[in-house]
Amino acid sequence: MSKILVVAELQDGKVRKATHSAITFARQAGAPFSILAIGAGAQGAAASVTGFGAEKVLVCDDASLVGPICERFAPTIAQAAKAGGFDVVVVTASSFGKDVAPRVAAKLGAGYAPDISGVKAEGDKLVFRRPVFAGNAYATCEITTALKVVSVRQSELAAAEPSGGASPVESVALAAKDAAEGRIEFVGLEAAKSERPDLGEARVIVAGGRALKEQFAGVLDPLANLLGAAVGASRAACDAGYAPAELQVGQTGRVVAPQLYFAIGISGAIQHLAGMKGSKTIVAVNKDADAPIFQVADYGLVADLFQAVPELVTELKKAQG
Amino acid sequence: MKILVPLKRVADPDNANKVKVNGGKLETTGLEWKPNPFDEYAVETALRLTENGTNPKARQGEVVVVTFGPKDTETTLRAALATGADRAIRVDAADDALDGDLVARALKALVEKEKPDLVLLGKQAVDGDSNQVGQLLAEYLGWPQATFAGSIQSEDDKSLVVGREVDGGTLKVRVTLPAVVSVDLRIVAPNSVRGKHTPPTHAYADGVRFAALMAIMAAKKKPLAEVKLADLASDTALKIKYTGFELPPARKAGIKVKAVSELVDKLKNEAKVV
C-alpha cells in the first residue's frame, strides 16, 4: 500500500485550488495521504486543508521559502518525503510544480510522471494515465522505482471536496541548503495586476486570437467583465504582443477546462486545442467557416467578431435581465 | 562561453492529429521526423549568446549539440550544425531504450566531460510533453536551473538574468554559471536574448535562423562524434514504463448558429451556462 505526500502549493499565503486536484489524485489512488504545506506563511494556510481526510498536515513555514525558486523548496520536500516514509509525492502541474517535481525526483532517485490525468491502483501497483502528443493520445504508464513523483493536471481531476474531520498539524524541519541555491537569486515577478479569476480556476474563459489585433482587450474585456470570466489567448495573439504571455492557453501554456470557453477569432491549431478541449461547453466565433475550431465547438458562429462580440454582450445583458 | 544543447527529434507536431493507436500501441509510422521546436529555439538562443549579432558568422565561444538515438537522428544534429553549431555528439541508443531520467543521467556524465558553462535546452519535447530533462539534469549536477525562459540577458557571461514564463507572469531570476536553462516559445523574439557580444541596439529577425545551402554543405564536414550510452550511464534501467495508448474521447459534433441571439438562447436554455 502506498503512502502519499501531497505538496500544497501556496500563493499569497493561501493554498492554491489546484492542490485540491492533487488531493483527488490521492483519493483515487486509494491510499492514505498527508499534505505538506510549504512556504513562507504555510502555518496560516495549513488550516484550510485539515478537513480533507489527510492523516497529517505537515507544515514547513520559513521566511527563506519565499518566491517560487525551486532550489529552495526541493531539498525540504525530498527530506519530508523520506522522513515520513512516503513513497509517492504529488504536486500540481503548475509552472511551480513542473519546475520543482523533477528536482525532488532526482533527489529521491524516484521516477517522475508529469501531467497525470488519472490513477488506478491495480494490486500493489499504481497505473497512471497522462496525455501525450498535445493530448492527441493518452498513455498509461507505471513508474518502476519504489519512490515515485507525479504532477497532476487541475483540468483533468476535479477539485476534492472537504470530507470533514481535522487532520493533526505537525511541523517538519527545513532541510539544509543546496549548493545550487547559492547560485540563484530572485530578481522580481512582473505580473499584470488583474482582478479576474485565475485561468485554472475560472468557470468561464473568454479567449482571443490574433484577429483581435490591438483591440484585444477592448473587444474581450466587456464580455469577460459581464461573465466574471478569465481572459485567455492563443499563442499567435501572445507572440504578436496583443496579450501577455501568461494568458496563453495551449499545449505549452495553460491547460484549462472551464464550464464555458469562448474562442474568439481563434482558428484552432492543435496546440491550442490541446489546452482547452476539455472545456464543458465551447463557443467559437470566427469569420472563417472552415476554421478547425468549429470541429470542437458546441456552438459555432461564423461572423465578424468586431460586430458579433459587442452584440453578444448586449444580448447576454438582455438575457440576464 | 561554451554551451551544450541537447536536441530531440519528434514526430512532426503539425501532424500530431495523425497519431494513431492500434491495439494499445502508438503508431508513428508515416509520421515525419522533425527537430523538437523548443530545441530549435535552444540552438538559436545558444547561437545568439555566442556571437555578435551584426556578424553572426564568427562564433565567440562554442556551441556543442548532442542527441540520443539511432544513426538516423544525425539528421537533426547536421541541421543544427548547418545553422552555426560547432560540433555534435550522438549518443547511440534505440529510441525505446530511453526515458527522460536516463537521458538526464547520461547528460550529466557528458557535461562533466565537456564542461560547458551553460546547458540550454527546450522546456519540453512536443511528443511526450514531459518537461523534465533540464530540471533532472540540474539536480544531478547540483546546478541552478531557470526553466521556461522567455528572455535571457548575459552579464559578462558570468551570470544570466532569465525571464521565466510562469503561471502568474514573468519571474526574473539571476543564475550564476554554470547553470541549466530551458527555453520557452518567446525566447526567439527579436529582443529576447541579450548576449555580451551583440550591441544592445541590434534586433534579430523573429524566430530561428535558416541555414544557407553553402552552410548545409559545410555542416557535413563539421565534427560529429558517436558515444555509447553505456559509456555515459552505468545503469540503463528505465524509470517509466509505458504500457498502452488510447485516443482521447471524441467531442460530439456541435452546431453552427446563425445569429448572436440564437447563440445566447442556446447558452441560456440548452447548455444552461449563462
Q: Calculate Rg over the CA atoms of chain B.
A: 21
- The yes-or-no verdict on residue B88 having pLDDT over 90 is yes
Of the partner residues A69, A70, A319, the one whose CB lies closest to the CB of residue B264 = A319
Task: Please indicate whether residue B3 or residue B21 has the higher confidence score (pLDDT).
Answer: B3
pLDDT in tens, chain A (321 residues): 789 999 999 998 999 999 999 999 999 999 999 999 999 999 999 999 999 999 999 999 999 998 899 999 999 999 999 999 999 999 999 999 999 999 999 999 999 999 999 999 998 899 999 999 888 899 999 999 999 999 999 999 999 999 999 999 999 999 999 999 999 999 999 987 788 999 999 999 999 999 999 999 999 999 999 999 999 999 999 999 999 999 999 988 999 999 999 999 999 999 999 999 999 999 999 999 999 999 999 999 999 999 999 999 999 999 987
The fold of the A4-183 domain, in CATH, is Rossmann fold (3.40.50)
Range list for CATH 3.40.50.620 in chain A: 4-183
pLDDT band at B16 (very low <50, low <70, confident <90, very high): low
Domain A204-320 sits in which CATH superfamily? Answer: TPP-binding domain (3.40.50.1220)
Which CATH number is B2-270's, of 3.30.497.10, 3.30.70.100, 3.30.420.40, 3.40.50.620? 3.40.50.620
Q: Are the beta carbons of B39 and B5 closer than 8 angstroms?
A: yes
Tell me the chain A residues in contact with residue B142 when contact means C-beta distances shorter than 8 Å.
Answer: 178-180
A155/chain B closest Cα distance in angstroms: 14
Chain B, nearest residue to A190 by Cα: B170
Say yes or no for a CB contact (<8 Å) between A134 and B16: yes
Dump pLDDT digits (tens) for B163-217. 999 998 999 999 999 999 999 999 999 999 999 999 999 999 999 999 999 999 9
Q: Determine the pLDDT at residue A321.
A: 74
Of the partner residues A138, A145, A300, the one whose CB lies closest to the CB of residue B257 = A300
A303/chain B closest Cα distance in angstroms: 8
Q: Determine the pLDDT at residue B11.
A: 86
pLDDT band at B12 (very low <50, low <70, confident <90, very high): confident
Mean pLDDT, chain B, integer: 94
Q: Determine the pLDDT at residue B17.
A: 62
Dump pLDDT digits (tens) for B218-252. 999 999 999 999 999 999 999 999 999 999 888 88
Predicted-complex ipTM score: 0.95
Of the partner residues A137, A297, A320, the one whose CB lies closest to the CB of residue B26 = A137
Tell me the chain A residues in contact with residue B248 when contact means C-beta distances shorter than 8 Å.
Answer: 131, 135-138, 277
A174/chain B closest Cα distance in angstroms: 18
Chain B, nearest residue to A300 by Cα: B256
Say yes or no for a CB contact (<8 Å) between A315 and B144: no
- Per cent of chain A over pLDDT 90 is 90
Tell me the chain A residues in contact with residue B124 when contact means C-beta distances shorter than 8 Å.
Answer: 252
Of the partner residues B21, B26, B173, the one whose CB lies closest to the CB of residue A187 = B173
Residue type, A118: G
Range list for CATH 3.40.50.1220 in chain A: 204-320
